[in-house]
Chains A and B, each alone.
Chain A
Amino acid sequence: MQICKCGFGSIALSSLFGSYFSSCSTSGNDKHTTVAANGDLQAIPPHFLPKAKHIIFLYMDGGVSQVDSFDPKPRLDRENGEDPFRKFKVDNTQFGEVGKILKSPWNFKQYGQSGIPVSDLFPHIATCVDDLAVVRSMVSNFPEHTNANYFLHTGSGLQGRPSMGAWINYGLGSENSNLPGYVVLDGGLIPPGGLDNFKNGFLPATFQASLLKAGVQPMANINPLDSISGLQEEKLSFLKERDQWLMAGQETDDIEAAIKNYELACKMQSSVPELTAFTSESAATKELYGLNSSDPNTRNYGAQCLLARRLVERGVRFIELTCPSIGGLDRWDQHANLKMGHELNAHAVDQPIAGLLKDLKVRGLLDETLVVWSGEFGRTPFAQGNDGRDHNPSAFSMWMAGGGVKGGTIFGKTDEYGYRVVENPVTIHDLHATMLHLLGMDHKQLTFGFGGRDFRLTDVHGNIVTDILA
């Protein structure tokens, strides 16, 4: 097995012993020591001078319509109700219910010194445009949610690869050994594709996401079950002793990860309650995030955003916010009822996100935190049925703020209908490469050997979008 570690030999052996041994040894990957001598996860310096140290990924699950948010298209207004087949080549859509050209139900206004246009869906975020780099030329390879989600989160349309957060923790370690380095704040909706969007794939198990739910108990078992103090520590020490005996002289990744997992869980029993208690936050702050809003969805998302800021303060590397669960709506995926659906979704996230950006900025955290706002694809400029929009992977908009990004800029262009990109397409791989670049990592050097070759988040693709770098 030593000779053919990653070949058929190990497959045969693991089938004999069950999948107990992890596939390839990480001997080629030893250059990454994210574990300090005392067992704590520690931070590793990046390849070169970084701009950002944390990423908050605001995931707009379902696909926000670009022509209704950040990419105004007057032509849709003029040609509203006309037949798209007479205008341009119409690609196949998910549902095939191609309707007429549909103008945006919302008006666009220009904001800030940069004059970036934002629709009435996001009046609060609009006040922050001078800090945003809006990319209008995003493209995805997949028109369907599950594949597109995997693609956005893991760089591959197929299930099973490590997610962005896992790669970033693998590359940079964690600044806080009492909290996981990769946290997903569950607003109620796990994206299509499930938790595999947040997993570690073939990277060591410590790099998968930890999910925090909204509510009184953010995580299962966060309160110790043992009433006698010290008893839990004794149990864990004994477990560790037994595990280390088992580890002696064997492939140890999974066991080591399990040990680390228990230890981190133990620490989280004190760190998480402190994290989720907002008692130290001023009334003004709570108001800023929308925690006093009459809309319960705004209150919930506001709590998530505030939590995200607190996580950044505590050194967590990668924080993702999922889409809030709003009754009667399927995320941003408005195949019907575009107006009502997008409005309810936007109302939930608009004030909290603006609050987050402003709060990060005033505390000096925005410069070192890259905030990414993106869905997995866009929507069609023509209707689905009467009042919805179908998926459109050929063009969509997203924005980034903070962390070394040039604010007040627009990058990339779509055609006059907002249907396809005509200038400077940015792929998901390019997005990943740029995110890693801002963290001080060369996306081509952050690799992991698996199944006989080196993998990376961007696989064999990815160009850094230099124009939006400050």
Chain B
Amino acid sequence: MAVLELLGKSHLLWVHLPIGFIFLALVLILLKWKKPEAPYLNLLPLIWRLATLAAIFSVFSGLLLSENQEGTNLFFHQYAGIFLTMSLITYLIFNKNFILIFIGILFVITIHLGASLTHGEDYLFKKKKKEITQLNEVELYEDAIVPIFKAKCFSCHKPGKSKGDLDLTNYEKMGDKEELVRRTHLPKSHKEFMPSNGKAPLSKEQLAILSYWVEIGAPKTKRLAQLQLDAKRKSMFESFFKLNENPLLSLNVKPAKYDHLAKNGFMIYPIFRQSSLLEVKYTGKGKPDLKLLQEVKKQVVWLDLSNTGLRNEDLKIVGQLENLFKLNLSKNDISDQGITALGKLKHLTEINLYKTKVSTEALNQILQMPNINKIYVWETELPPLYLDSIAKIKPAVAFIYRR
């Protein structure tokens, strides 16, 4: 029932109250030693009552929340919490100071285990996740396999909750690793499929990496640099560590309104669904009103102004579109002078200048751009032989100028 589920989830709300109240009460008791007449000590009984009430709510919501869960941490947390609540009630009734010792101990146990359940046992002293920027840095087991286990297996196979007696956090105690491969590759409906209990299966990538690791003998300390990776495996790891992700996808911009542009001859829409990045092409009659582009200054990544009667002055506005990746200025009467306005386009990877009047100065300017890798310069003022020699000096850039 959804209501019970919600009540169960309210446990996470309630627990903060007894923590606060008990902590406050304990602090006040310590102060009592130093200043026995302090007026706020009158509040102590009230605080204990509030703490008890909040603890009772916590226990009930906690029981609902832990409906289908199990594990040693949960077991001890649950009973510590229950005994804590019982101690609080006993203290309220009998008001004996020695009960406070029990309350103190049970308090610490309960909250510590509760926190471990929420964010993992190693939270306080967890190693900071290594930022992988190069494949050479990767340690196969530590950086690839352990995260896969963490994502898909640890919830049931760790110390304190070792289903099937399997603890995957410990390399030495892992047992038959081929069994891991076998089980994770089974069809989801199979009895022995892992991960079980409706948990998401390993992704194709995770399966491939796990299989590879077991295939080469499941080494604990081998780095990728020590292994002879073929091209396919290399790109598998690159993709796993997100080393070859298109920089377009890591751009973070707020979505912009562009109805105004659409009404004025601009064809404009997101580069893919739910993206705030935009593709713009001018398809209207007459010259485009480029000032409108300033409304989407940060969002435009692909811009096509081919054959729109652009002049050199117009490129000043284009140069302000800071996130442009692809720019098509072909078939316009523009030249080197206009291109100077584009100097700040640091993301630009592709520029189309066919059938324009650009020449060597413009080309040099464009080659300064840090990310440029494709330049279309057919039917420009640039002689093909000149471009042949430039192409040799700049092998990382593709020059397209011959049919």
Known contacts A43-B267, A363-B354, A363-B376; decide if A358 and B275 are in contact (CB<8 Å).
Answer: no
Q: Do residues B378 and A362 form an inter-chain contact, with CB atoms below 8 A?
A: yes
* Docked complex Cα distance between A46 and B271 (Å): 7
Q: Do residues A364 and B354 form an inter-chain contact, with CB atoms below 8 A?
A: yes
Chain A residues within an 8 Å CB radius of B403: 284, 288, 358-359, 361-362
Chain A residues within an 8 Å CB radius of B117: none
Judged by a CB distance under 8 angstroms, whether B270 is at the interface is yes
Binds B, one of A47-55, A93-101, A154-162, A186-194: A47-55
Query: Distance in Å from the Cβ of A108 to the closest Cβ of chain B?
Result: 25
- By beta carbon, the residue of chain B nearest A314 is B283
Judged by a CB distance under 8 angstroms, whether A224 is at the interface is no
Q: Do residues B273 and A364 form an inter-chain contact, with CB atoms below 8 A?
A: no
Among B267, B328, B401, contact of A362 (Cβ-Cβ < 8 Å)? B401
- By beta carbon, the residue of chain A nearest B279 is A45
Q: For chain A, what secondary structure do more than half of its interface residues adopt (helix, strand, loop), or is it mixed?
A: loop
Q: Do residues B378 and A363 form an inter-chain contact, with CB atoms below 8 A?
A: yes
Among A46, A47, A175, A440, contact of B267 (Cβ-Cβ < 8 Å)? A175
Q: Do residues A49 and B271 form an inter-chain contact, with CB atoms below 8 A?
A: yes
Q: Do residues B376 and A48 form an inter-chain contact, with CB atoms below 8 A?
A: no
* Docked complex Cα distance between A359 and B374 (Å): 16
Known contacts A362-B354, A362-B400; decide if A46 and B376 are in contact (CB<8 Å).
Answer: no
Chain A residues within an 8 Å CB radius of B323: none
Chain A residues within an 8 Å CB radius of B354: 362-364
Chain B residues within an 8 Å CB radius of A50: 271-272
Q: Do residues A49 and B378 form an inter-chain contact, with CB atoms below 8 A?
A: no
Chain B residues within an 8 Å CB radius of A367: 350, 374
Within 8 A of A (CB), among B347-403: 350, 352, 354, 374, 376, 378, 400-403
Chain B residues within an 8 Å CB radius of A49: 246, 248-249, 271-272, 275
Chain B residues within an 8 Å CB radius of A358: 403
Q: Do residues B267 and A364 form an inter-chain contact, with CB atoms below 8 A?
A: no
* Docked complex Cα distance between A47 and B275 (Å): 10
Q: Do residues A362 and B402 form an inter-chain contact, with CB atoms below 8 A?
A: yes
Q: Which residue of A284, A361, A363 has the most chain B CB atoms within 10 A of its CB atom?
A: A363
* Docked complex Cα distance between A234 and B354 (Å): 43
Q: Do residues B330 and A364 form an inter-chain contact, with CB atoms below 8 A?
A: yes
The total of interchain contacts (Cβ-Cβ below 8 angstroms) comes to 57
Within 8 A of B (CB), among A115-151: none
Judged by a CB distance under 8 angstroms, whether B23 is at the interface is no
Query: Distance in Å from the Cβ of A115 to the closest Cβ of chain B?
Result: 17
Interface string of B311-329 (1 = CB under 8 A from A): 0000000000000000010
* Docked complex Cα distance between A440 and B302 (Å): 16
Within 8 A of B (CB), among A318-371: 358-359, 361-364, 367
- By beta carbon, the residue of chain B nearest A361 is B400
* Docked complex Cα distance between A362 and B281 (Å): 19
Judged by a CB distance under 8 angstroms, whether B269 is at the interface is yes
Q: Do residues A47 and B272 form an inter-chain contact, with CB atoms below 8 A?
A: yes
Among A48, A176, A288, A363, contact of B272 (Cβ-Cβ < 8 Å)? A48
* Docked complex Cα distance between A361 and B376 (Å): 9
Query: Distance in Å from the Cβ of A177 to the closest Cβ of chain B?
Result: 10
* Docked complex Cα distance between A47 and B271 (Å): 9
- By beta carbon, the residue of chain B nearest A467 is B232
Q: Do residues B272 and A45 form an inter-chain contact, with CB atoms below 8 A?
A: yes
Query: Distance in Å from the Cβ of B154 to the closest Cβ of chain A?
Result: 30
Interface string of A23-63 (1 = CB under 8 A from B): 00000000000000000001111111110000000000000
Within 8 A of B (CB), among A423-449: 440
Q: Which residue of A48, A284, A315, A358 has the most chain B CB atoms within 10 A of its CB atom?
A: A48
- By beta carbon, the residue of chain A nearest B268 is A43
Chain B residues within an 8 Å CB radius of A359: 403
Among A43, A47, A48, A288, contact of B269 (Cβ-Cβ < 8 Å)? A43
Among A42, A364, A440, contact of B328 (Cβ-Cβ < 8 Å)? A364
Query: Distance in Å from the Cβ of A413 to the closest Cβ of chain B?
Result: 16
Chain A residues within an 8 Å CB radius of B249: 49
* Docked complex Cα distance between A358 and B401 (Å): 10
Query: Distance in Å from the Cβ of A47 to the closest Cβ of chain B?
Result: 6
Within 8 A of B (CB), among A274-306: 284, 288
Query: Distance in Å from the Cβ of B151 to the closest Cβ of chain A?
Result: 22
Chain A residues within an 8 Å CB radius of B270: 45
* Docked complex Cα distance between A362 and B387 (Å): 14
Chain B residues within an 8 Å CB radius of A46: 272-273
Interface string of A307-319 (1 = CB under 8 A from B): 0000000010000
Q: Do residues A45 and B273 form an inter-chain contact, with CB atoms below 8 A?
A: yes
Chain A residues within an 8 Å CB radius of B352: 363-364
Chain B residues within an 8 Å CB radius of A363: 330, 352, 354, 376, 378
Within 8 A of A (CB), among B215-272: 246, 248-249, 267, 269-272
Q: Do residues A45 and B328 form an inter-chain contact, with CB atoms below 8 A?
A: no
Query: Distance in Å from the Cβ of A1 to the closest Cβ of chain B?
Result: 33
* Docked complex Cα distance between A48 and B275 (Å): 9
Q: Which residue of B248, B249, B400, B403 has the most chain A CB atoms within 10 A of its CB atom?
A: B403
Chain B residues within an 8 Å CB radius of A361: 400, 403
Q: Do residues B269 and A45 form an inter-chain contact, with CB atoms below 8 A?
A: yes
* Docked complex Cα distance between A48 and B277 (Å): 12
Chain A residues within an 8 Å CB radius of B376: 362-364
- By beta carbon, the residue of chain A nearest B376 is A364
Chain A residues within an 8 Å CB radius of B275: 45, 49
- By beta carbon, the residue of chain A nearest B249 is A49
Q: Do residues A440 and B272 form an inter-chain contact, with CB atoms below 8 A?
A: yes
* Docked complex Cα distance between A47 and B374 (Å): 26
Q: Do residues A364 and B271 form an inter-chain contact, with CB atoms below 8 A?
A: no
* Docked complex Cα distance between A45 and B330 (Å): 24
* Docked complex Cα distance between A284 and B283 (Å): 27
Chain B residues within an 8 Å CB radius of A440: 272
* Docked complex Cα distance between A43 and B403 (Å): 31
Chain B residues within an 8 Å CB radius of A364: 328, 330, 350, 352, 354, 376, 400
* Docked complex Cα distance between A359 and B402 (Å): 9
Chain A residues within an 8 Å CB radius of B248: 49
A residues neighboring B (CB under 8 Å): 42-50, 175-176, 284, 288, 315, 358-359, 361-364, 367, 440
Known: A48-B272, A49-B248. 14 other contacts (CB 8 A): A42-B269, A45-B273, A45-B275, A46-B272, A47-B272, A175-B267, A284-B403, A359-B403, A361-B400, A363-B330, A363-B378, A364-B354, A364-B400, A367-B350
6 closest A-B pairs (Cβ-Cβ)? A364-B352, A362-B378, A358-B403, A45-B270, A364-B376, A45-B273
14 residue pairs from A and B, CB less than 8 Å apart: A43-B269, A45-B272, A45-B275, A46-B272, A48-B272, A49-B275, A50-B271, A175-B281, A315-B283, A362-B376, A362-B402, A363-B352, A364-B350, A364-B376
